Structure 1
């Protein structure tokens, strides 16, 4: 696959964009009433308004796709991209768990696992591609914040 990256980097970029977009679509389809559901929850005083999540996740998804693509373009496939895939799966699972199923506790377990995998992914990427790792730092920060928010919602509801 590394040879393909050298010959067709835009094909590789498209693969990463489609993979990350699939995660976003899964989330949006399983959270059609997320805004109203979120407004009905008891949340901490520091909880952001529901309208903020869409723009933040859009920016994060762009950075996630770019990070994966930059790493792949330079290093091809390997264990780092397995971690990349695992974080996508965990990310995709959170919204259906939280909003569609209303399983706030299970969603908390998922997002804690996601947080751990993002940390491992940043460490793994940083060893070989600093920019790819740095692109994931805002994602880590937001998921850390979202983990605290999820935990607070579990305790309040």
Structure 2
């Protein structure tokens, strides 16, 4: 049951991808050569959301997990915010600020998760790795397209 609650939170975050799709604006932007193919994004995010939910559920049952759960809540809120800011409002600089803060929160979450439970920490690791790619993409797209979004 706990896993389903965390999965529901991840599903709510994922919904922003349905509401604020990349569309023609994004397709028309210049992108770096390391941009993954479009199919990779839903596959990657689905996998990451399942791992996030599983890690959250593992952490929720552990004594002393208050900080980890607070960080989990903060990261899912920031995760939810990025898509409407970047794709909806087309604010690439603001998206970069959000993803930088998100990266820091997820890094702190990973440290806390590893402190409490090896497997929970391992489940957060791919998320942090993907955020490195996502942040690099956000930054390069922003720099390659001056004036296309502030």
Same fold (TM over 0.5): yes
TM-score, normalised with respect to structure 1: 0.87
3-state DSSP class of the match of 1:26?
A: helix
Q: Which residue does the alignment assign to 1:54?
A: 42
Q: Which residue does the alignment assign to 2:10?
A: 20
3-state DSSP class of the match of 2:39?
A: helix
Compared with structure 1, are the counterparts of its residues 40 and 149 closer, same or farther at alpha carbon in structure 2 (3 Å cutoff)? same
3-state DSSP class of the match of 1:134?
A: helix
Q: Which residue does the alignment assign to 1:92?
A: 80
Consecutive unaligned residues in structure 1, runs of 5 or more: 1-10
Q: Which residue does the alignment assign to 1:45?
A: 33
Number of residue-to-residue matches in the alignment: 145
Indicate whether 1:128 and 2:126 are aligned.
Answer: no
Q: Is the 8 A contact 1:35 1:50 kept in 2?
A: no
Q: Is the 8 A contact 2:75 2:106 kept in 1?
A: yes
CA-to-aligned-CA distance 1:74-130 (integer Å, 9 cap, x gap)? 337512101000000110011001101000000000000000001000001111111
Measured on the aligned residues, the alpha-carbon RMSD in Å equals 1.3
The aligned runs of 1:75-86 (5 Å cut-off) are: 75=63, 78-86=66-74
Q: Which residue does the alignment assign to 1:150?
A: 138
Q: Which residue does the alignment assign to 2:148?
A: none
TM-score, normalised with respect to structure 2: 0.91
